[in-house]
Structure 1
């Protein structure tokens, strides 16, 4: 979690600078909880890592990584997104459904991404030299959680797995988003592509999309023991809530202490 949480730990990657291509104009809208997702080794820019840059609406973000393209999700990306999500947040999903059901859950999550059609939920894919390398999910006011069937989950995951996954969705699929906010629901980078500044580019894309939607604030939630906390602070985020998920969050993720963080844009 910014956390998607249950985050693996790792080392902070280096950030490079150059040009990143954005394939749609800012604010472009395509199909693609209050608990969001970022692994512990997510790449986030610091004042010394990433020079100031501005967006030229429609195509290019200057002074960020070359050879990186950020585009809206397409149907063929669902398998990649589901796999990356499972690899990045495996401990969280294992807690929810059990180790022996994680692969089945990956299939469920892949299908879920194929069905996203809410204009207030946007999923972006980062490509590095034409290879898919990362993902970003942001949500805006008016987002409506996808419908789900506990009977379907029970058939695929068993009774206990269905209960765990349903609890997880209750925490993740928050629709209580302020009209001024852009909520970062999930951001992660494939382990083979870390160290290229891709996480930084995805964070930038989130802010540009938010501005295009008229938002004035970015928000996210992150586990208090996640090393990404200090990185978000360097990115300009401030803690606005010290949350104790003693019941729901603990049952859903196995993580009790969270920070709500925000940044004015």
Structure 2
């Protein structure tokens, strides 16, 4: 296995992260859309507003060699509005008005997270690098940083049929609540989700005992 390095996200990683997110969540992005994965990448590149050192979040990438092989975004506050202007009319002309409205609503639902909690918005690993411990490395690195920031708990939501849930259980997350969401089912094709929680302080104590 090649060496994995975990680094803070930088603006130069933007295009690589967009491609990784679309490839990882392709089935949800294209659900009910007459858009190709390449179309989705072009739209996301125009509308997704994320910057390095953005307040209210922890954004990490995994790099294997010179390639971005994984990404993790944790929200823990209300991010500052960085004011990226969306070229809405241009995108509507290119991809269709109803396709754009539906996609923007989907993106809004996809990015929702519970305020006041430290929450994993997304974690994704390049399909060609899965099974090499990248997801575990991203989570471990993020959790150490969050402990230093005095956060005591970390939350996430995962689709019940997502194999990644096994990773979260191994990492110490526990099931809290099963969620039935017809809205997510309509927009993303998945209506059964699991809300999970990890006690970061408990994990620290176990590591110290070991």
TM-score by length of 2: 0.82
Structure-1 residue corresponding to 2:106 = 168
Conserved? CA contact 2:58–2:142, under 8 Å: no
Within-5 A mapping of 1:19-98: 67-95=3-31, 97-98=33-34
Unaligned runs of 5+ in 2: 201-210
For 1:103, what is the secondary structure of its paired residue?
helix
Following superposition, the deviation at residue 183 of structure 1 comes to 0.9
Following superposition, the deviation at residue 151 of structure 1 comes to 4.4
Inter-partner Cα distance in structure 2 for 1:263 and 1:198: 19
Are positions 1:262 and 2:200 aligned together? no
Conserved? CA contact 1:238–1:263, under 8 Å: yes
TM-score by length of 1: 0.66
Inter-partner Cα distance in structure 1 for 2:166 and 2:70: 21
Structure-1 residue corresponding to 2:208 = none
Conserved? CA contact 1:223–1:259, under 8 Å: yes
Deviations 1:124-181 (A, max 9, x none): 2111133321111111122357767554553443122112212212212325322xx3
Following superposition, the deviation at residue 195 of structure 1 comes to 2.6
Which structure is richer in relative contact order (CA contacts within 8 A, separation 6 or more)? 1
Give the aligned length.
197
Conserved? CA contact 1:121–1:137, under 8 Å: yes
For 1:95, what is the secondary structure of its paired residue?
coil
Are positions 1:108 and 2:46 aligned together? no
Structure-1 residue corresponding to 2:206 = none
RMSD, matched Cα: 2.4
Conserved? CA contact 1:81–1:110, under 8 Å: no
